[in-house]
Structure 1
Amino acid sequence: MKAKSVTRFARAKINLSLHVTGVRDDGYHLLDSLVAFAGVGDEVTVSEASELSLIVDGPLSEGVPTDGRNLVMKAAQMFAPSLDLSQGAAISLTKNLPNAAGIGGGSADAAATLLALAELWDVPLPDDPVSLGADVPVCLSPMALRMRGVGEYLSPIPPLPALWAVLVNPGVAVETPPVFKALCDKENPAMSVMPEWTRTADFVTWCAAQRNDLEAPAIGLAPVIQDVLAALEPSLLARMSGSGATCFGLCESAEQAEVLAAQISRDHPDWWVVASTLS
């Protein structure tokens, strides 16, 4: 009999805004962020097996660890208290997203693994998924949400209008801790009130008045991010996602996004460039 398997899509997470509003006593930063998800992502497949294992393939798999350093393995190990010690799974991760890129690739992979293994093993999700990373809880429900605290407080938002974007990463990995360390002002205003957005233009106007407080410190550590933002200037709004280095440019239509993505790809053939919807 063929072994049971479950596949989950790990969509790229995009911080349309990211406000750093304070720091807890334990050093974790408090956030206020509007998170949406792209139509591109990694893929996680889990199959019945006698032991836990991970293989990684895909166009951006080079350098991705397959041992306990990978969040996918850490996610799988969170189920240990509720499982028979002999129960395992063969996990396959197809990497289509760049690493350390500010689009939640590792967190999305971990969330997809949690969901896939819970279904495979017919067990509840582990408690405290935020312990894997601030983005894991929001990635468990890949729909646009407001994320606060250190990632554990999620709340619904008014429906997003149709959004198209170009996502660009210059091939430079940016680790999150140094970006937060380089942030000088750690207590900033939260996002403004979210209205009902009836048109894409209304949303872009509102979003332009928000911020990514990590953009300036990330540019200080990786100046090429400024080049990415410059390449996205023809869009309606260009901004960095997360702690970088991936940036997005919001566009008026799918056609505009495709044209801009093609132009940037021609000018920078070594960059990762994707046109996508956001939702």
Structure 2
Amino acid sequence: MSIIKVFAPAKVNLTLHVTGQRKDGYHLLDSLVAFADVGDRVTVMPAPAPRFEVTGPRADGVPTDNTNLVARAAALFGIPVHILLSKHLPASAGIGGGSSDAAATLLALSDLTGDTKLPEGATELGADVRVCLMRQAARMRGIGEDVIPYHDLPPLFAVLANPGIAVSTPAVFAALATKTNPPMPKKLPKGLKTRGFIDWLATQRNDLEAPAIDAAPVIASVLQALSSLPGARLARMSGSGATCFALFDTEKAAQDAARGLSARQPDWWVEPVRLS
């Protein structure tokens, strides 16, 4: 029996510029996205009838019906399969867990069926699904449909931190004071080493940070804690929150900082990661 296992990495928005809003209400973005070496795991195998299970340290509260993007992604193939989702990422956390899980499910079922063409509706499952299918650093624009690989990301080491709260993405977008903000530069930097690239990132933004802090003031505390870590070069929120990250020059600095933050905040989800 074929058993397909696919890793579903956390998505981190290194930048997130909100550049406009369409008449249908969808917001336009310009975001530089990278993927971490932590994430969920999706296992797919043939079955006589559809079956979907969620396990893992972050399984509590994760739906197993068709409100879960994993179930919806699997349904697009029209074949019965047993899916096991092992949850390691916090939910509603601004790191694309649901979209990455859906993308991993699409890739797993594509491998299982031998069909390299994704079914109709696959990329409409969510705005981040297309970039999560790419699984590498990319510039994402529009409402997520314009995704261009970014091949000049230097080695980046980060600490991810989430205080254990869920943030409503629609509520954060609704509270955004200015809907039309400047995009990133037309041409992104090339050839920068880690330190220079972090310096450039510091000149960019996450436009959702302020409304997210208004909705969940603890995010400001997370950013302050990350900024105060030894060796932290830049602290920023990912997506619509509440996960934030700090960037470091070296892997060891990130690992040491993560250990210290975990000791001080044992109830937070804290992970040292490499971004690519």
Instruction: Give the match's secondary structure for 1:134.
Output: coil
The aligned counterpart of 2:162 is 169
| 2:175 corresponding residue in structure 1 | 182
Alpha-carbon separation, structure 2, partners of 1:78 and 1:25: 29
Q: Following superposition, which runs of at least 4 residues in structure 1 exceed 2 angstroms of deviation?
A: 127-130
Tell me if 1:88 matches 2:85: no
RMSD (CA atoms): 1.0
1:111 to 103, 106, 131: 103
Contact 1:101 1:243 in 2 (8 A): yes
Deviation at 1:241, TM superposition (A): 0.2
Q: Give the paired residue count.
A: 271
- The one-character-per-residue Cα deviations of 1:128-151 (angstroms, maximum 9, x if unpaired) are 433211110000010000000100
Aligned to 1:84: none
2:136 is matched with which residue? Answer: 143
Match of 1:231 in 2: 225
Matches within 5 A, 1:14-163: 14-80=12-78, 87-123=79-115, 124-163=117-156
Please tell me whether residue 199 in structure 1 is matched to residue 170 in structure 2.
Answer: no
> Per-residue deviation at 1:201?
1.0
Letter in 2 for 1:39: D
Q: TM-score, normalised by structure 1?
A: 0.95
Unmatched tracts of structure 1, length 5 or more: 81-86
Give the counterpart letter for 2:67 in structure 1.
Answer: R
Deviations 1:153-174 (Å, cap 9, x if unpaired)? 0112241111100000000011
Partners of 2:90 and 2:5 lie apart in 1 by 20
Does 1:263 pair with 2:260? Answer: yes
Q: Deviations over 1:7-60 (max 9, x none)?
A: 100000000000000011111000000000000000000000122211000001
Q: Report the AA paired with residue 232 of structure 1.
A: L
TM-score by length of 2: 0.96
Aligned to 1:221: 215
Report the Cα distance in structure 2 between the residues aligned to 1:228 and 1:148, rounded to whole angstroms.
27
Which residue of structure 1 aligns with residue 205 of structure 2?
211
Identity among equivalent positions (%) equals 56
Structure 2: gaps of 5 or more residues: none
SS at match of 1:99: coil
Q: State the alpha-carbon separation in 2 of the partners of residues 175 and 52 from structure 1.
A: 30
